[in-house]
Amino acid sequence: MALERVVEAVVEADGLPCPPTIVGVGIGGTVEETVYLAKYAATLRPIGSRNNDPLVARLEDLLLEKLNELGIGPMGLGGAPTVLDVHIEVAHRHPATYPVAVVFNCWAARRATVEIQPDGAWRITSKHYTP
């Protein structure tokens, strides 16, 4: 099951990805699409956001709770939190196989929005630092 694999991935990674992390999960589609979903679509969503599909959103909440119960903690030294958030993105696929990708994003997930003008001038319009 995909959820068990996500928990296994976090346990196996332990403190290596410098927790607390943002866990991105891609389910379904081609293998390449699954990794893309996990890496870009899921991990780059803002912390606290939920998937538009209510079932997937419930899975995000469930995994967030379960992963924080592991007690891996910051930098793998124990305690809480182990993860800051879990984001899941899903693609449709023939039901015979459903690839699952799990990606970790650093707790210092820095993002910014840049506005680029036709003349090449640019300016940063917003900065987002988490947590």
pLDDT tens digits for the chain (131 residues)?
678 889 999 999 999 898 999 999 999 888 899 999 999 888 888 889 999 999 999 999 999 999 999 999 998 899 989 999 999 999 987 777 788 999 998 877 666 778 899 999 998 877 665 44
Q: What was the pLDDT predicted at 127?
A: 64
Q: Note the pTM of the prediction, 2 decimals.
A: 0.81
For residue 40, give its domain range.
2-129
Neighbours of 42 (CB within 10 A): 27
The number of folded domains in the chain is 1
Q: How far is CA 79 from CA 12, 17, 57, 67, 123, in A?
A: 17, 16, 25, 12, 40
Nearest one of 22, 17, 54 to 38, comparing CA atoms: 22
DSSP 77: S
